[in-house]
Amino acid sequence: MRFGLEHPWWLASLALVLPLIWLYLRPRVRPPAAVSSLRIWRRAVPRAEASTRKPRLPLLFFVQVALLLACAFALSRPFAWDEVPVGPPPDGVVILDLSASMQAREQGATRFAMARDAAVARVREIGARSPHQRFTVIAAALQPRILGSALTAEEAARTLGDLQPVDTAANMTAAVELAATRAGSEGSIDLFTDLAPQDLVVSHDALAATDIHRFGTSDDNVAIAGLEVFANPLEDATQKRVVVTVRNTSSGERTVDVELAPIAAEPDARESAASGEPGPGAVPVGAADPNPAAAAASSPRGTPLRRAVTLGAGASEAVVFTGIPWSGTFAARLHPDDAFPLDDVVYGNVPAPRPLQVLLVSDDAGLKNELSDLARRAGRVDLVTLPVAEWAPERAREVTIFDRFVPTLPPSGNVLYLAPPSGNGDVAVTGTVRGVKLAEIRDHELLRGMKGFDSLLTDSMSVLAAGGDLRPLALGTGEQREHALVVAGETGGRRVVAAAFHLRAEALRRADGLTALLFLVRTLRWLSPSQARAPLERLTGERLRASLRGQAPITRLEGPGGTRILAPTEEITLERAGVYRALGEREETPLLVSFMDAAESTIGRTAIAPAPPRERRPASVAPTAATVRERRPVLVPFLVSALALMLGEWLLIAARRFRAKSAAAGGT
């Protein structure tokens, strides 16, 4: 430990010692004092002592000098400092990759099991060689987690042995950089992964300190890369389609069966996928049918659908299932499974057929007749018409169409405003405009690919003010300004569409009025609400909030990995694929979590010769970690000394006076 001064210039105050010495030793003019006789004085004080004795500094002088020293040093702010290592002494850091690709099978065992066993063996080997070595275990997932620090070899082995892979990617960069900070400049890192070194995006220093233990070379994988369900209440049930995109990531041609199977209560998807056998609740899969149409036609209600597809090396194919005879949640599964079964199963939902409930509020009898006729013919729309004068908020339905009328308060449910007058809270209208020409149609499913949109425009149209949650989909120019013709968006959990024009009844009636009909159907389809009790669909790695807008909060989540209680504002990362039960206070919603990650599904790795791990320095030798000067003020001892010296000075002066008084009293 060494010492220093923060304000050393205060030491200049030590110069006060010099005048103090001078005050004590200065030659003094002795005042004369007449006495009766010197005889007694000569007898009492020998001359050697009286006049020739050397100057003698009293104890008070030394106390005052010490007081000056203490004060000077206290004002100089003394401190003790020492070189201390930054942070704790570096541990041996072990990183285990938990990413989904580590679940790929290699010769009977998964990469993760091989890596975990190797990590445990490595830790025990180092521990046997250096009993004082301590370990930090980091699990590399979407976010790296430090599972323990300063662990003994046995504790680190136990921690590693308890780890399980997750169904997400892993942020290896963050994990290795975190490990590098824990290991320090002299530490070492052992990374157990299936990544090649060139795929690691880390700093040079971190990479230099890292021993990469790599596992896995197999590329035997065909993955479900996408799943899309097409169904809306305006279409016939036989028109529902499911498109499964399959990708072959292996280097050879592969033929697989794609199966769609409804699930009532899906068991743990991982177990089913890993074993290649359907779970207890799954419907048995029939033999592959080379004729998709026949298979679809022959699929009874609730039975799985299956298609075979042959994929070249690295090829992708969209497998389309039409005429889905059932509705509800289903699993799309590949057969036979491969080295990476996790991406062989995804989950989806086919909505149940149900007529869309529409309310038309209009005083245009022609429009009411045309829409009623259209709904009657379509058979999927339950249309109710209402004069403007009879509008009441409680009359609102799933979709409410206001024709040239705006209620004061926005209704519940989704809304289509046609040529609204001065707006309400949903849409702001600033007036009317004439002679507007179509200028631009932006990409949106409402207007995508629509031809002849300008035929919908009328002479006089409302001026819509885009903003807030509504954004313009079609723009026109008129009166030297640009105007929004159609705005749409979600506001307050409701979908709102506003058109600057109204639909003319004759346009719907005419044979060439396809544009108006198409606009109306697309709008109704976009406004059709999702089914009640429709399952939540997520991908692994996504975040799930306990409270979703417009939905009851989730308090408990049951599924793969057990049960988890959620706080009202909690947000969790979905790390396991499978079918969950999201339970709220009163209702239960299925949660379908699928794994679809092209990077993770590409499990092929270039074979490389394993590099021998570097020799680790025995932990008995103290590592030379980076150090920092740690300062500790040592002011208190000087202040206490100064106070003690001041007290001592006072006592000395008081004692001198007391002795003088005592002597005076004793003399008389």
Partner 1 sequence: MATLRAAQPPEPTLLDRVLEPRVLGSLDRVRLRVGHASGDRPGHTRVRSRDDPSGSELERHVAYSPGDDLRRVDWNVYARLGELLTRRFVAEREVPVWILIDTSASMGPIAPRSKLDLACAVAAILGAVSLAGGDRLSFAAVPGRLREARGPVQTVGPLRSRRDLGRLREFLTRLEPASGEGDLIAGLEQATRLVRRGLIVLISDFLFERPVLDGVLDVVARRRCEGKLVQVLSREDVDPDWLRGQHRLIDRETGEDYEIDPSVATWERYREALNAHLEDVRRAGLGRGMSSVVAVTDVGLERFVASELPRLGLSLVR
Closest CB 649 distance from partner 1, rounded Å: 18
Three-state DSSP class for 382? Answer: strand
Which residues sit at the interface with partner 1, rule CB under 8 A?
A: 28, 30-45, 47, 50-51, 53, 659-660, 663-664, 666-668
d(CA 407, CA 395): 12
Tokens of 515: 């544009």
Q: Which two tokens stand for residue 456?
A: 């919908």
Structure tokens at 37: 């006789």
CB closer to partner 1, 42 vs 533: 42
Q: 152-182: b or e for each residue (b if 16 or more CB lie within 10 Å)?
A: bbebbbebbeebebbbbbbbbebbbbbbbeb
Between the alpha carbon of residue 43 and those of residues 46, 50, 184, 537, the distances in Å are 6, 11, 83, 117
Q: Which two tokens stand for residue 189?
A: 């890192």
Residue among 44 and 511 whose Cβ is closer to partner 1: 44
| Amino acid identity at 302 | G
How far apart are the C-alpha atoms of 617 and 130, rounded to whole Å? 9
CA angle 98, 102, 107 (to 5 degrees): 145
Give the nearest distance from C-beta 19 to partner 1 in angstroms. Answer: 19
Sign for the pseudo-dihedral over CA of 549, 551, 555, 559: negative
Q: Rounded to an integer, what distance in angstroms lies between the CA atom of residue 111 and that of residue 97?
A: 10
Give the residue with the Cβ less far from partner 1, 9 or 22.
22
In angstroms, give the least distance from the CB of 636 to partner 1: 37
- Nearest CA to 499 among 481, 484, 517? 484
Indicate the residue among 389 and 665 with the shorter CB distance to partner 1.
665
Provide, rounded to whole angstroms, the least separation between the CB of residue 39 and partner 1. 6
- The least distance separating partner 1 from the CB of residue 62, rounded to whole angstroms, comes to 17
CB contact set of 14 (below 8 Å; sequence gap of 6+): 68, 69, 72
Half-sphere exposure in the Cβ direction for 280 (13 Å, CA):
2
- Burial bucket for residue 76 (CB in 10 Å: 0-12, 13-18, 19+): buried
Complex with partner 1: residue 53 or 132, whichever CB lies closer? 53
Q: Pick the closer one to partner 1 by CB: 40 or 80.
A: 40
Kindly tell me which of 37 and 107 has the beta carbon lying closer to partner 1: 37
| Cβ proximity to partner 1, 265 vs 655, nearer residue | 655
* Shortest CB 82 distance to partner 1, Å: 49
Measured from the CB atom, the residue of 431 and 667 that comes closer to partner 1 is 667
Burial of 46 (0-12, 13-18, 19+ CB in 10 A): exposed
Instruction: Quote the least distance from Cβ 52 to partner 1, whole Å.
Output: 9
Check: CB of residue 225 under 8 Å from CB of residue 246: yes
CB of 47 to partner 1, least distance (A): 7
Report the residue number, 31 or 284, with the smaller CB distance to partner 1: 31
- The span from the CA of 207 to the CA of 184, in Å, is 13
Tokens in use for 234?
């305006």
Task: State which H helix or E strand residue 568 sits in.
Answer: none
Task: Name the minimum Å distance from CB 57 to partner 1.
Answer: 13
| Site of tokens 């729309």 | 381
Tell me whether residue 12 or residue 655 sits nearer to partner 1 (CB atom). Answer: 655
CB of 627 to partner 1, least distance (A): 58
Comparing CB distances to partner 1, the nearer of 14 and 60 is 60
CA–CA dist 663, 601 (Å, integer): 105
**Using CA atoms, how far apart are residues 484 and 499, in angstroms rounded to an integer?**
8
CB of 15 to partner 1, least distance (A): 27
**Residue 11 CB, nearest distance to partner 1 (Å)?**
34
- Residue 533 or 659: the one with the smaller Cβ distance to partner 1 is 659
The least CB distance from residue 653 to partner 1, in Å, is 14
Cβ nearer to partner 1, comparing 38 with 392: 38
Smallest separation (angstroms) from partner 1 to the CB of 652: 13
User: Does residue 477 contact residue 436 with C-beta atoms inside 8 Å?
Assistant: yes
Strand positions, DSSP E, 178-294? 189-193, 210-214, 222-230, 241-248, 254-262
Question: Cβ(648)–Cβ(206) under 8 Å?
Answer: no
The structure tokens listed for 601 are 């599904």
> How many angstroms separate the CA atoms of 471 and 325, rounded?
38
By beta-carbon proximity to partner 1, the closer residue of 26 and 451 is 26
| Bridge partners, residue 148, by sequence | 137
User: Computed over its alpha carbons, how large is the radius of gyration of the chain?
Assistant: 43
Compute the least distance from the CB of residue 18 to partner 1, in Å.
22
Overall size of the chain counted in residues: 668
How far is the CA of 69 from the CAs of 10, 65, 329, 642, in angstroms?
Answer: 11, 6, 86, 8
How many other β-carbons are positioned within 10 Å of the β-carbon of residue 144?
Answer: 21
DSSP secondary structure string for all residues of 470-482: BEEEEEEEETTEE
Structure tokens given for 193: 């992964």
107 or 668, CB closer to partner 1? 668
Q: How far is the CB of 58 from partner 1 (least distance, A)?
A: 9
Structure tokens at 137: 């275990």
